[in-house]
Structure 1
Amino acid sequence: MRTRWILVLVMGLLLTACSSDDGASDGRVTLRFQSLAWQEESVDANKELVEEWNATHPDVKVEYVQGSWDSVHDQLLTSFEGGEAPDVIHDASDDLADFAYGGYLADLRELLPERLKSDIPERSWETATFGDGIYGVPFLQEPRVLIANAEWLRDSGVRVPTPQEPWTWQEFRSIAKELSGGGRYGVAWPLKEPVSATLNLSLSTGGQMFHRGADGKVTVRFDAADEVVPRTVHDEVNTDGSASSATLGMGGSDTLPGFFGGKYAMVPLGFSYRQQIVQQAPKGFDWQVLPAPAGADGLTQGVSPQTLSVAEDSPYKKEAVEFIDFLLRPENMVRLALGDWMLPTGTAALKDPALHTAKDDWATGTALAAGLRSAPAQSVRGYPEWKDKVATPAFQEYYSGAIGIEELRKRLVEDGNLVLARYQR
């Protein structure tokens, strides 16, 4: 009996200690904010904003927790299931579906302040909407652009595109061929992970790939509009010889040494790669940002913005959203965007002069913001399996020339719909 009472006393002391740790006993709230910032400028901006919040909000303390993009999905899943999820969660919209549908994230519709709701466009809110709920606040985004060797373009005499007068996909293919020869290539396509790049760029040509029927079920189609971008890449590699087949298995960073070395005239990359180029390019290397080619739908392309969410199990949802609102005030959103070399989603932040400079071609990227839309697949149940087991190997084989367009269509549609059907019963 004495042992039982000792155990009860110890458990009571532990519970009291836990209560003190979370700040409940003294009236103070402690929020854990897990950030995925990794670049030095971005980490500094996030930590500075946390310090500024803590200095002006003595009753709501925020603890900065460093996460990693490489392991965030599995780490969050483990923390959700273990009841240890951070209160405020930094992620990307294309990673939220499982957590949103699984009940791990709070629906923010009734919690968001009107200022924040109205500042971020509806097209951006769509990226974090699953079913009837909003499960994240989209705040940073980046278009896919062409990073070009400016000297090479000037010497060739080709027309240099602008956001107002971009290249068409056919014009892009012709110019890539014109820029090639003598062991040099007009373009390097880093397509180690080919699916999101292909689907997002295909929005410019009217490609959709995923279609929701009247019954709410999603099926895959591969129509003429969906073929334009894949055919362009395939033909540049296998017909024109204007794109290097060696880069198809590379990530974006892997192509930079060859780009700096004069092997490729252009590389399609995310807008934030400019930071690596500024840091790594040889002295005197002249580069510039060009818009991605335009199709029937202009410069439209899909994006999966970075997001801030609140854990459903957090007892401090109201305070968590207040902290998010502070982080995403226009002036703070600009600081976060500059730190990550990306674009803010907020309309007020996008007007900031710092994002419209010629230096590092900020103005070119900002001019593309209006065409950014929700990535086609991010709300599709079963998309991760379709991407990994069906689409990735199919696109890789097509781009390398191992299969033709009809076999690609067969795999994406027939095999793909078998996968999606299992998630929609």
Structure 2
Amino acid sequence: MTEKGVPTMAHSSTWRKRGLTATGLAAAAALALAGCSGGSDGGSGDDGAAEDVTIEFWGWVPGLEDAVAEWNENNPAIQVEFFRMTGDDGDKIPAAIDAGTAPDVVQMSAHSLPGHIINNRLTDLTPYVDGLAEDFTASSWGTVSFGDAVYGIPQDSGPTGLMYRTDIFEEYGIEVPTTWEEYVQAGRDLKAANPDIYIAQFSPNEAGLWMETVWQNEGSFFQIEDDAWDVTVNGPESLEVAELWQTLLDEDLVKVVEMWTPEYWAEVNAGTIATINYAAWFPVLLEESAESTSGNWAVADTPLFSGKNTAGESGGSVNVVTANSDHPEQAVEFITWLNSSESGVEYLIDGGVFPSAVTGLSSESLLQPSEFYGGQVINEVFADAAERVPGTWTAGPTHDLTVNALKDEFGRVANGEITFEEALDNVQDMTVEELEAMGLNVAS
């Protein structure tokens, strides 16, 4: 450990071929590992000066133009120029920051933060967000917090709920499960009543379905322990999820089909998949892709693990201030308004996202009945879930590699080559090896 609590690098990096020098990794790793307030100070601008500034903002939520227009009308001293991100614009951000040409504020997926932090691409917002955590759900604030440092403002999230076919459950006299044990039994009862109906599907390539359940079980694939990354892909919480899914797969209670494919939607429309436990952003996609089943769905709480009253979460984006910004304080003032004020959050809800701000959970525009779901106000379920997601999940620098490895190993599980537990062990080893190759400290 160097001065100011900055951790040392494990060893010389061999990742120079990927554009990450050893020196850069050693310095940047301190931000995520020690949670210190070092790193980018937001450029050379003087935030204390009473001068008019212009903030450049890149984002993708529909309707952000209207939000920016309202802000600009009411804040002449801090004007915002908005650029709508499409296609591969997000992929251009790292190079733009490294070249010094990035915008002040960018919307990005929460799981991508660690990779940017260890490359010194983001501004530590800690000096500007005192007392702001209480305005957001614990889980969403946790996605932008690393140690004592904060690197973004949460924008949207994906608390989970159980979408289920009311007609199927009623036809076969099956109660909606409230625990995972009951869920397995419901799958058995369905199979006994109609072998062509499965309680759910297993999609090896949809790792989010797995991670949300580990998160619900108060687990994570990564933790920060002193000055090192602690990899827990095969931790006890994950192993409990593995046991659950191994039972479902071994007893042929789940249909093996890749999500998002025509085959998947054909199964959903045919009524062979009775439940889908996924995030708050999924119901509208289900409605669009399974119109013929309108009125036959409802949403219940995600089944619980024994002794816990938690929900899972999948997805979510944040607003960050890049290291290029000369006006981080004003940038934070804007994105705080956008993501936590009543008027700002309304624009986000109108844009179709599920808000991370607590104030958004009781918004009238969020809590509207849905004809597709039998007139149910489904977001009441998701709003309740949002406040029950544990703040245990930490994204890691190897998120993409870890998730891709998980998909590959789950493919082998689906083929009967290995078990879920063995898959987790393999991904654990791959993740540790990659972190060490990056020159980052890994807890033993």
Range into which the TM-score falls when normalised by the shorter chain: 0.7 to 0.9
Find the partner of 2:317 among 292, 306, 316.
306
- The Cα shift of 1:408 comes to 2.4
- The Cα shift of 1:109 comes to 1.3
- The Cα shift of 1:106 comes to 1.2
Compared with structure 1, are the counterparts of its residues 416 and 105 closer, same or farther at alpha carbon in structure 2 (3 Å cutoff)? closer
CA distance in 2, matches of 1:225, 1:265: 26
Compared with structure 1, are the counterparts of its residues 361 and 337 closer, same or farther at alpha carbon in structure 2 (3 Å cutoff)? farther
1:130 partner amino acid:
F
Find the partner of 1:94 among 106, 111, 127.
111
Contact 1:271–1:365 under 8 Å retained in 2: yes
- After the TM superposition, which segments of 4 or more aligned residues of structure 1 sit over 6 Å from their partners? none
Q: SS where residue 397 of structure 2 aligns? A: coil
CA distance in 2, matches of 1:85, 1:204: 36
- The Cα shift of 1:131 comes to 4.3
Q: What is the aligned partner in structure 1 of residue 60 from structure 2?
A: 36
CA distance in 1, matches of 2:152, 2:204: 28
CA distance in 2, matches of 1:284, 1:407: 40
Contact 2:139–2:392 under 8 Å retained in 1: no
**Residues 1:288 and 2:273 are matched in the alignment:** no
Find the partner of 2:205 among 183, 186, 192.
192
CA distance in 1, matches of 2:224, 2:329: 34
Contact 1:386–1:416 under 8 Å retained in 2: yes
Compared with structure 1, are the counterparts of its residues 79 and 375 closer, same or farther at alpha carbon in structure 2 (3 Å cutoff)? farther
2:251 partner amino acid:
D
Identity in percent: 19
CA distance in 1, matches of 2:213, 2:365: 27
Q: What is the aligned partner in structure 1 of residue 428 from structure 2?
A: 413
TM-score w.r.t. length of structure 2: 0.76
Q: What is the aligned partner in structure 1 of residue 82 from structure 2?
A: 64
Find the partner of 2:153 among 137, 149, 154.
137
1:295 partner amino acid:
F
Q: What is the aligned partner in structure 2 of residue 53 from structure 1?
A: 71
Q: What is the aligned partner in structure 2 of residue 347 from structure 1?
A: 358
Find the partner of 1:370 among 387, 396, 400.
387
Q: SS where residue 328 of structure 1 aligns? A: helix
Farther off after superposition, 217-226 or 318-327? 217-226
Compared with structure 1, are the counterparts of its residues 122 and 265 closer, same or farther at alpha carbon in structure 2 (3 Å cutoff)? closer
2:423 partner amino acid:
L
Farther off after superposition, 77-86 or 348-357? 348-357
- The Cα shift of 1:100 comes to 1.9
Q: What is the aligned partner in structure 2 of residue 85 from structure 1?
A: 102
Q: What is the aligned partner in structure 1 of residue 328 from structure 2?
A: 317
**Residues 1:263 and 2:272 are matched in the alignment:** yes
Instruction: Calculate the aligned-residue CA RMSD, in Å.
Output: 2.8
Q: Which has the higher helix share?
A: 1
Q: Bigger radius of gyration, 1 or 2?
A: 1
Where does 1:17-28 land on structure 2 (aligned, <5 Å)? 28=52
CA distance in 2, matches of 1:269, 1:303: 7
Compared with structure 1, are the counterparts of its residues 129 and 82 closer, same or farther at alpha carbon in structure 2 (3 Å cutoff)? same
CA distance in 1, matches of 2:269, 2:361: 31
TM-score w.r.t. length of structure 1: 0.79
- The Cα shift of 1:137 comes to 0.4
Q: What is the aligned partner in structure 1 of residue 242 from structure 2?
A: 230
Q: SS where residue 391 of structure 1 aligns? A: helix
Compared with structure 1, are the counterparts of its residues 91 and 336 closer, same or farther at alpha carbon in structure 2 (3 Å cutoff)? farther
Structure 1, unaligned stretches of length 5 or more? 1-26, 38-42, 162-166
